[in-house]
Structures are given as structure tokens and as C-alpha cells.
Structure 1
């Protein structure tokens, strides 16, 4: 009787017991016996578990083809779009030159005319180029210029009014050009350099220097002057006139013939060597000077 009850209980609980999952060896045996795509299915599941989980799922979505014509990359968020170009954005004015803090450097770039300059320019260095002419429009819109240097160009002509609007200009160098006459100079010049040109005395007007009350340094050496320019301002400290064709001077050239007490005390250097003049013949021409001019006295 007890045996029969035990058998009945065993038969009652057998359907509730689940078989254990097959081992890898059992899987291999199942594949060997007719499951054609089982290994491929296992590989795909393993790939999706490893590479399409968490952050790596973005790799799959990194390329989007919205319209079939263009690709939009979304993976690299560090790439930023360029800002849209402003409609009124102007081209830079310094194309051939170097512009830095109000200074413009156009040296040895073979330009044959003054290039467009920023309106705020204060210093222009255009040395050793091929500029032949300076015009009134070159500086018409640049009133803040304080220094211009055109050393080593081919300048033959400077239009009237070229410097008329440069009320702040303090230094002007036209050295080593081909000038035969001087233009009207701006009133606040402290330095004017026109050495190594072809300037003749008739190319300098009587009042060219008269009103330049701040002019301190004047360099006109190595030209074709046959006389000292008239009406040199009292402010001058250095006057270079060496290697010209100056043959004579007067008592009024540097001093005042009618004022024996007049002293030109600011002049520190006058150079006249290399001229045909014999300075010893004109002793009354230097009575107002603290130092005699440099040159030949015999």
C-alpha cells in the first residue's frame, strides 16, 4: 500500500521539474544534428550584446542620410559650424602690408603707388619700393598720420596739397628719391629728410620752411642746391647741407645782419662740407652761432 502511494506522488511531481539548459557540448551536438543557422545566430546575438549596447549604440546611428544626397555626421559634437558672414563685412585694407597697432609696414614689396591704408594709421613705412608719385588723395582720409617714410623710392613728383590735411604729421622722409623740388610741407613737422635727391635751389620756395616753427632736424645733403634755403626757422638744431653746389652765403643766411645781439642758440650742427664754398670768406655770417659750420675755410 505504501509503495503504491509513493509511485502516485512521484508521477504527480514529475511534470513540475524543468530540464537543465544544455551545455556547450550539448549545443555543439544539437548544431551537428541539423540546426543549420545556429552558429550564425549565436554570433549575431553576441555582437549585439557587446557592440550595440550602451554608448556603442551611437556608432550605428552616427551616419544619417536624411535625403539620400547628403551625409550628416552626428558623432563628433566638437566640430562647430563657421559663423555666418556678415553682409556688410569689409575687406581688410592691409593686403600688401603689415598693419600693427596703427603702424603700417610696406617695405620692399615693389609697390608703385601708396596702397589703401586703415583710417587710424599713424605711421607709414614704405621704404625701398617703386613709388613714382605722391598724390593729394593718397592721405586725404588719414588725418592721424604722424610719420611718413618713403626712403628709397623713385618719387619724382608730389602733387600740391598732398600733405595739406596732415596737421599732425611730425616726421617726413623723402630721402633717396628723384625729387627736383619740394612741396608745401605740413606745419607741425619736427623732422624733414630729403637727402640724396636732385633738388635745386629754385625748387624750394622762399616760405617753404618759414612757418615750420617745430622743425628741429633738416636734412638736404647730397642734392643740387646752389644756395642755403632762405628763412630757416629758429627751432632748428641740426642742418645738413653737405655735398651740394653751394658757392656763397650772406650775413642773413643764419644770422641777422642788422642785429649784433642776436644769438641763434638752438643750432648745434651745421654741415657744409663737400660744397665749393670757402667759409673763411664770410666771417660775419657765423657771428650768431655757438659753433662754426663744418666745412672748408681755406
Structure 2
């Protein structure tokens, strides 16, 4: 069976196969798939400037003793991957064949994956938008400590294990927008941006101290959910808070300000959006006395 698969694979890539060239500095990305280790080598720092023109991008793969050159033009690259998956439905695909790996970034957008693929350990950015991922687990990122940005916009995520992001101490941006979440997981401490808009999150799905220790968080997007109240203990670092189009019905004097401290000013906040909620902000004037700008919403 293995012999048959190897033969079919070679036949599939015959028009694209060239003998492996002698060692030289080729300003393109070369991935070496060995039996024991996976290594990524980049031979030119100006790769993006020279080759990201939408037409001439090429990714080279060593397979056996050959170099496989795959054009990233959509109609060729996607067709090649589709045929490969059809011929070998049970064969585990190398992540950087199914996705695109470039200088620490992994692009897995619109490739119909239903789970987070094994990532190169050097990965700093993962873009896995518009796929069919339903769950995130602690194992997905256990050995990828350098991640700084994760984008899972437009998947089918319903559940995230609490320990999923526990080892991602460098993670700065996390997008879970346009999924099926009912609650939020424990979030990593260095987040500067968190986006969970267009989900199904209710207030009981956010723990009281979910954001309290996120002292670097500047942008919080929770609009278009099912929240009945504004999340508690929002950090002082916040600049933008989007809560529009939820089910928020009330606000207290401590929601954004400090009821017992009339001299307190929350000067970092630039924008709070509350339109599309069943609440009249005009009935809660003391809730905004510490703000430099009034929230956007209905005051009638």
C-alpha cells in the first residue's frame, strides 16, 4: 500500500518535480520533512517584498530526493491539495503543505480543517479563519510557547478547555469572533486585544474576574452576543469596549466608575458602544461621570 501511495504521489507531482538543487541561498522558503524532525529555514529576510506579488509565490518541499515546487496561485495550489487529500484520505498531511508557513506565521484560512493542526514550534502567528473547527484543547498549543496572535474567526467553536491558553504567556491578540461560544475560557495575562463578537455568550458564561488581571488589555469586543449585563471588573487599561447589540438591561455606578470616589477619572477609555441594547442610558447618569466621553447608545 505504501508503495502504491508513493507511486501515485510521484505521478501527481511529475509536472512540478525537479531534482533537488545543490546547497545554495535560494530566496524562497524550503521545508525539510525528515522522519524525525521538522525544520523550517528561511534564506532571505526580504522574501515578502520580493515574492508576495500574488502570482510568483512558490513553496518548495523536499519529498524523498526531490524538491516539489507548488505555485500558491489559488487554482493550482488548492487543486493540488484537494487531489492529494482525495488520493490519501487517511494520510496525515504535513501542516505546511495544507497551510502556508511563512516566517513564523501559519496561514490556514478556508481549508476546511476541523481541528488545530500540528504547528511548527517556532510559530508566533496562526490564522485559522473560516474553517470547521469545533473545539480548542490544551494540547493544541502545549508545545508552542511563542504564539503572539491567534485568529479563529468564522469557525464552529462551541467549547474551549480552560487550560487551552495557560502556557501562552506571550499571547497578545486572540480572536474568537463569529463562532458558537456560550462561555469564555480562562484568558492569558498579556492580552492586548480580545475579540469574541458574534457568538452566543451570556453573562453567566463570563466569570466575575475574567478580565480583572488583564492589565494590558486595550481592546475588548463582545458585541452581538446575549449578555444581560456589562462584564465585571473591567481593567483600567481598556481603551475600546464594544458591547452593542446584546441584551443589557441595567448599569450600576460601579460598572465603569467608582461610586464612592467622585474624583476618579477613567481617562484611557476612548469608546464605549452600547447601542442596540434594551437600556436607556439617560436613566443612569452617575454611571458615566468618570468618563471623558459618553457611551454610544440610546438616552431616551
TM-score (norm: length of structure 2) = 0.70
Corresponding residue for residue 283 of structure 1: 285
Q: Is 2:205 aligned against 1:214?
A: no
Return the index of the structure with the highest Cα Rg: 1
- Name the SS for the 1:280 alignment partner: helix
Question: Cα distance, 1:94 vs. partner?
Answer: 1.9
Stretches of structure 2 lacking an aligned partner (at least 5 in a row):
1-18, 24-32, 40-93
Q: Is 2:265 aligned against 1:263?
A: yes
Matches within 5 A, 1:127-138: 127-138=129-140
- The C-alpha deviation readout for 1:5-35, integer Å capped at 9, x for no partner, is xxxxxxxxxxxxxxxxxxxxxxxxxxxxxxx
Task: Check whether the contact 1:148–1:173 (CA below 8 A) recurs between aligned residues.
Answer: yes
Question: Cα distance, 1:160 vs. partner?
Answer: 1.4
Taking a change above 3 Å as real, the CA distance of residues 290 and 132 of structure 1, as seen in their structure-2 partners, is same
- The C-alpha deviation readout for 1:256-296, integer Å capped at 9, x for no partner, is 00101000000000000000000000000000000000000
- The C-alpha deviation readout for 1:24-78, integer Å capped at 9, x for no partner, is xxxxxxxxxxxxxxxxxxxxxxxxxxxxxxxxxxxxxxxxxxxxxxxxxxxxxxx
Task: Check whether the contact 1:144–1:166 (CA below 8 A) recurs between aligned residues.
Answer: yes
Extract structure 1 runs of 4+ deviating beyond 3 A.
Answer: 79-83, 85-93
Paired residues, number: 219
> CA-atom RMSD, angstroms?
1.9
Question: Cα distance, 1:88 vs. partner?
Answer: 4.5
Q: For the residues of structure 2 that align with 1:240 and 1:95, how far apart are their CA atoms?
A: 37
- The partner residue of 2:167 within 146, 165, 168 is 165
Q: Is 2:254 aligned against 1:252?
A: yes
Question: Cα distance, 1:82 vs. partner?
Answer: 8.9
Corresponding residue for residue 29 of structure 2: none
Q: Is 2:244 aligned against 1:242?
A: yes
- Name the SS for the 2:286 alignment partner: helix
Question: Cα distance, 1:152 vs. partner?
Answer: 0.1
Q: For the residues of structure 1 that align with 2:177 and 2:140, how far apart are their CA atoms?
A: 19
Stretches of structure 1 lacking an aligned partner (at least 5 in a row):
1-78
Corresponding residue for residue 293 of structure 1: 295
Question: Cα distance, 1:236 vs. partner?
Answer: 0.2
Q: For the residues of structure 1 that align with 2:20 and 2:162, how far apart are their CA atoms?
A: 54
Task: Check whether the contact 2:38–2:120 (CA below 8 A) recurs between aligned residues.
Answer: no
Q: For the residues of structure 2 that align with 1:176 and 1:80, how far apart are their CA atoms?
A: 43
Q: Is 2:112 aligned against 1:110?
A: yes
Structure with more of its chain in strand, by fraction: 2
TM-score (norm: length of structure 1) = 0.71
